[in-house]
Structures are given as C-alpha cells and as structure tokens.
Amino acid sequence: MNTRGLRGFIAVSYLWYALWFIAPSLVMLVYALGRTAGLTQQGLVNLSHLGFGNFSTAFAYPAGPVLEVSLENAGLATLLCGVIAYPVAYFLAKRGPRTRALLLLVIVLPFWTDYLLRMLGWRIFLSPLGLLYSALNGLGLHLTSLSILDTRGAVMIGLVYNYLALFILPLAVVLERIDPQLQQAADDLGAGSLARFVTVTLPLSMPGVVAGTVLVFVPMLGDYVTPTLLGGARGLMVGNLIASEFLEGQNWSLGAAMSIVLVLILVGIVVACGLAAVGLRTVVQRTRQRVVQRELVAA
C-alpha cells in the first residue's frame, strides 16, 4: 500500500470514529445542557436556555448514591476477576500449545451463547426453586432464610462470570511471553519459587493486569442487563438508572447528563491506567536489567 492509500485509509478510520463516537457524544452533551421540564410532549429537550443544572442533579439523590454503588460493584468485581484470573492465566501460560488452545476454548465456549440467555440461566439457577436451592435441600441444608437472587451478591456473581474471560486472555498472553531465561537467571541466583515470582514474574505481568482491568472495569460500570435480571431493586446500578431516565422517565436531558458523567469517569480511569502502563513499562525494563546484571556478576 502506497503512502497516499495509507493516508486515505487512516482518514476513513478517523471519519468513522468521528461519525459514531464524537458526533453522538456532542449530541448527548447538548441534550445534557438542555432541560425537559415544562415541555408538553415527553422525551423532547428544550434547548433555548442551556445550563449545567442537570449535572448537579446527576450527583444528587438518587443518582449520586447509585453511581457510588456502581463504582463499588465494578471495582470489587474487577478485583475478584483479577484474583481468579491470575492463577488461571498462569496455569495456561505453563501449558503446551495444544493444551493451552483446548483450555482457552473451554474458557470462551460459554460466550458463544447469547448474553441475555446466560443471565436468564443464572436467574433460574439462583431462584428459590432453582438448582442451587434444590441441591442444598438435598444435602439437608434447608436454608429458607438464604436469599441470593435480587441482591448485590447476585449482581457480583453475574459480573464476574460475564467478564472473567476478558481478564484471563490478555493476562495469559503477557505471562506466556515472559522470557524463561529471566526466571532461570533468578533461579541461578538462588531465588526460590516465591522470590522468583515476586521479583520477576509479577512485575513483568503487570501490563497484562492493567489491560485486563481496563477491559473488565469499563463495561462493568455501564452494565445494566446483569443488574436488571439478577439484582432487581436492590442491585440497581447507574446503567439501569440512565436507561430508566430515557425509557420510563422520558427525562432525556438528565439521562444525557448522567451519561456524560459516566463517560468522563471512564475516560479518567482509562487515562490513569494508561499512565500506570507507561510506568509499568519502566518497571519491567528495570526488572530485566537487574536480573541480567546479577546474572553477569554471578558469572
């Protein structure tokens, strides 16, 4: 491809990005500055007097507390995904190509099913007449007071289940690409298994942790299907509140303001993770240099 063709291809990609992301974001911003009150027809936005009142309402009750709960749920679910994904990814990285491919197929196989069907399956499983309670009753554990469905706990289960693979895959790729000679060098210098993991493997795998965190946290925070089907009224998240403002409350200006706030939070998190990734690159380089220097001194 010549230079002119490459520039044209890049221009088309920028145009596509502007058409489907920047333009809708600008429309949402204009709607957020308008107001819905006083209109005879629901769903319309009055743009004659623009202001920032909707943004203040977006942080007030109940939107503010729901946003706080959503950040807590997404943060805790991301942490759980990381705790579960790291040993799984480490195990995958140590397997041969065929075994690793088979295990990756097992991990991604549930995602060949529709997202909504998977959540409905979890709702049936966690319901009082579902398989979980039937199994507990069969074991003689008649936990009639135990209620999992329509709680924050059920939302956490759904979030971790849905996004766990997005944490495992990039982390497994990074762990697989770690140079075995660095671990062997640390072993030659007398480092045990734990010391070798802490000083070599863990620092070198942090870019995968950052990538998994971004891939998991961003969609988790805006998820509204999982809280709707598994959380009920007690599992409400900001995505549900935004959807209700557009579809049920017909308050498009407030819904747009809440959407803009959510996008700004996500952009801030992505930028922070990007800066962390840049810092981690320096840590990785220093780790490699330190191991190589110690190996040279020992030799």
What domains appear along the chain, each with residue ranges and CATH number? 34-298 (1.10.3720.10)
Query: What pLDDT is stored for residue 188 in this prediction?
Result: 67
- What does the alpha-carbon distance between residue 37 and residue 10 come to, in Å, rounded to a whole number? 43
Mean pLDDT of the chain: 83
Q: Which of 127-131, 264-268, 279-283 has the lowest mean pLDDT?
A: 279-283
Query: What pLDDT is stored for residue 149 in this prediction?
Result: 85
The amino acid sitting at 156 is M
Cα-based distances in Å from 122 to 69, 149, 184, 229, 287: 22, 9, 44, 9, 43
- What mean pLDDT comes out for the span 105-130? 87
pLDDT higher than 80, residue 133: no
With the CA atoms of 51, 56, 58 and 64 taken in that order, what torsion angle do they form, in degrees rounded to the nearest 10?
A: 180
Whether 196 contacts 187, CB under 8 Å? yes
Query: What pLDDT is stored for residue 24 in this prediction?
Result: 87
Query: What pLDDT is stored for residue 78 in this prediction?
Result: 95
pLDDT tens-digit map of 169-205: 999 999 998 877 777 776 766 667 777 787 778 888 8
- What mean pLDDT comes out for the span 265-287? 79
Q: Of all residues in the chain, what percent carry a pLDDT higher than 90?
A: 26
pLDDT tens-digit map of 288-299: 666 666 655 665
Q: Which residues pair with 35 in a beta bridge?
A: 46
pLDDT tens-digit map of 220-239: 998 988 999 998 877 889 98
Confidence of residue 136 (pLDDT cuts 50, 70, 90): confident
- What does the alpha-carbon distance between residue 184 and residue 178 come to, in Å, rounded to a whole number? 11
- What mean pLDDT comes out for the span 70-99? 93
Query: What pLDDT is stored for residue 200 in this prediction?
Result: 79
Query: What pLDDT is stored for residue 2 in this prediction?
Result: 63
- What does the alpha-carbon distance between residue 179 and residue 285 come to, in Å, rounded to a whole number? 12
CA proximity to 52, closest of 71, 34, 26, 72:
34
Written as six digits, the tokens of 241 are: 């509140």
- What mean pLDDT comes out for the span 86-100? 91
Query: What pLDDT is stored for residue 128 in this prediction?
Result: 79
Query: What pLDDT is stored for residue 298 in this prediction?
Result: 61
Q: Of all residues in the chain, what percent carry a pLDDT higher than 70?
A: 88
Query: What pLDDT is stored for residue 143 in this prediction?
Result: 66
